[in-house]
């Protein structure tokens, strides 16, 4: 008889009971393909005395009533909020010279920008002309030698998740229309896809991982008769193996191709896609290669919270190692590529042109609101002792500053339409009561909604 489970140390050095073998039979409590979590697809029937036919039953309810209250603004609310902004209407087909101030509203974003579209169009025309010359030169070389020129090698290797990529991900997640997720009436869940212990055999480069995700997406369409709507993000374990987190709403019922529930189907489909040549590695991977966590999915109630979940590891020093590329993927041409992506979901933003006065005024209000949130960022800074030359590191906490480039930039909010409507109301109230053209900070007092409050630093 097997003895009690041994005790192992976790990543923080503390000791805890060892988890059961992922490849152990169902009699030990391990359901194929599911990693234990707070709220998962495992049902009360997952017991040693259950019949095999009952293992697919799950306690996941058919309705989100009482469990999940989504607050994702719809595209209609975004359109209505954008219509309230003091827009300047232009004739179609005209392109004025010079900078133009624009306000952008999205489900979870409000942006202030100043673009010179005529100048940008001329820049793009020059870039297209240069590309045409490069293609002509390549064709001429192929005609002369019979071979195509070698593609240019990457200039640098990707070793970590860049700050710019993080900011782009946050903005895109705040701009998405999440109607395909909460409109289905199903509970959201966080799906995790991992690789076997011998992961280099099946995923030697980042391009192989992207091919696996593409193949799994095609299998989903065939099995469930719908496109897979989700947001995914790539991370790395301490052992170097990649894994992918996906926020989606798992379908109910059984797959049309195999007759299995989503949890069981996902385990078998992911193992088939990875297809490890070692039978033992494949068996273990099919039993512990996926996870389905509804507890994490229920936290996604608005666009800003979705973005916060996928960036939380960047704010925690203990999780930052998950964004460092392993040495096996550090060579040029073998890197991970994109760290995040979106399937099926589309942007739902509306942009209106405003006068320079209104644009500057809107940027001031947004900047003061962002400053009033009191956000701070923590990072490690290097210090050198000038007398001994010894290098030490200490944690530094600095305040996050947004819209500092001439009141231009963007902010992530829980409800972009609510923020835009309140800003439009404040601007109209000021115009009606003053001719100075500058909105006093006290005008923002009293702005409140379900999630945000616009204040100024003096009012904090």
Distance CA 17, CA 56 (A): 28
Checking if the pLDDT of 381 tops 90, the result is no
Distance separating alpha carbons of residues 191 and 296, to the nearest angstrom:
9
∠ Cα 439 420 117 (to 5°): 90
- 78-112 pLDDT per residue, tens: 999 999 998 887 776 666 677 889 999 999 999 99
- Which pLDDT score is estimated for 97? 74
pLDDT grade for 375, boundaries at 50, 70 and 90: confident
Cα separations in angstroms, 229 against 110, 269, 336, 342, 345: 24, 17, 22, 8, 6
Residue 269's pLDDT is 96
Q: Considering the entire predicted model, what is its pTM?
A: 0.74
Rounded-to-integer distance, Cα 204 and Cα 212, Å: 12
Residue 54 reports pLDDT greater than 50: no
- The residues facing 292 across adjacent strands are 191
- Highest mean pLDDT among 49-63, 176-190, 240-254 belongs to 240-254
- Per-residue pLDDT of 116-133, as tens digits, reads 888 888 899 999 999 999
Those residues with Cβ within 8 angstroms of residue 95's Cβ, 6 or more apart along the chain or in another chain: 117, 118, 121
Query: What are the structure tokens assigned to 157, written together?
Result: 């290797």
Q: How far apart are CA 422 and CA 369, in angstroms?
A: 12
Location of structure tokens 């987190």: 245
**Six token digits for residue 34:** 């599911």
Rounded to a whole number, what is the distance in angstroms from the first to the last CA of the chain?
64
Does 33 score more than 60 pLDDT? no
More reliable by pLDDT, 217 or 395? 217
């Amino acid at each position: 008889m097997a003895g009690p489970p041994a005790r192992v140390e976790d990543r923080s050095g503390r000791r805890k009971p060892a988890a059961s073998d992922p490849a152990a039979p169902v009699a030990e409590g391990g359901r194929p393909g599911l990693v234990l979590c707070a709220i998962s697809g495992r049902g009360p029937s997952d017991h040693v005395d259950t019949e095999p036919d009952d293992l697919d039953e799950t306690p996941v309810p058919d309705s989100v009533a009482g469990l999940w209250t989504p607050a994702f603004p719809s595209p209609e609310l975004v359109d209505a909020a954008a219509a309230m902004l003091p827009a300047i209407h232009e004739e179609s087909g005209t392109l004025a010279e010079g900078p133009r101030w624009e306000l952008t509203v999205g489900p979870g974003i409000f942006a202030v920008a100043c673009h010179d579209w005529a100048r940008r169009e001329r820049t793009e025309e020059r870039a297209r002309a240069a590309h045409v010359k490069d293609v002509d030169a390549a064709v001429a070389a192929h005609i002369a030698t019979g071979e195509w020129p070698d593609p240019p090698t990457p200039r640098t290797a990707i070793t970590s998740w860049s700050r710019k990529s993080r900011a782009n991900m946050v903005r895109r997640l705040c701009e998405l229309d999440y109607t395909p997720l909460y409109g289905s009436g199903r509970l959201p869940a966080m799906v995790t896809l991992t690789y076997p212990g011998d992961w280099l055999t099946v995923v030697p480069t980042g391009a192989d991982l992207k091919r696996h995700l593409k193949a799994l997406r095609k299998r989903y369409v065939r099995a469930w008769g719908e496109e897979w709507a989700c947001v995914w993000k790539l991370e790395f374990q301490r052992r170097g193996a990649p894994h992918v987190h996906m926020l989606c709403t798992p379908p109910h019922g059984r797959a049309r191709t195999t007759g299995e529930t989503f949890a069981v189907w996902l385990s078998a489909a992911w193992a088939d896609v990875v297809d490890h040549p070692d039978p033992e590695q494949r068996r273990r991977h099919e039993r512990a290669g996926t996870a389905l966590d509804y507890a994490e999915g229920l936290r996604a109630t608005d666009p800003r919270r979705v973005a916060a979940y996928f960036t939380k590891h960047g704010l925690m020093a203990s999780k930052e190692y998950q964004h460092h590329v392993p040495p096996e993927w550090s060579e040029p041409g073998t890197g991970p590529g994109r760290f995040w992506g979106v399937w099926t979901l589309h942007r739902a933003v509306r942009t209106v042109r405003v006068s320079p006065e209104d644009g500057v005024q809107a940027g001031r209000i947004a900047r003061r609101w962002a400053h009033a949130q009191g956000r701070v960022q923590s990072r490690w800074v290097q210090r050198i002792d000038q007398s001994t030359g010894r290098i030490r590191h200490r944690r530094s906490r600095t305040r996050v500053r947004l819209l500092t480039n001439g009141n231009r930039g963007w902010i992530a909010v829980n409800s972009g339409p609510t923020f835009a409507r309140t800003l439009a109301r404040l601007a109209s109230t000021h115009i009606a009561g003053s001719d100075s053209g500058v909105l006093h900070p006290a005008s923002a007092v009293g702005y409140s909604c379900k999630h945000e409050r616009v204040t100024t630093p003096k009012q904090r």
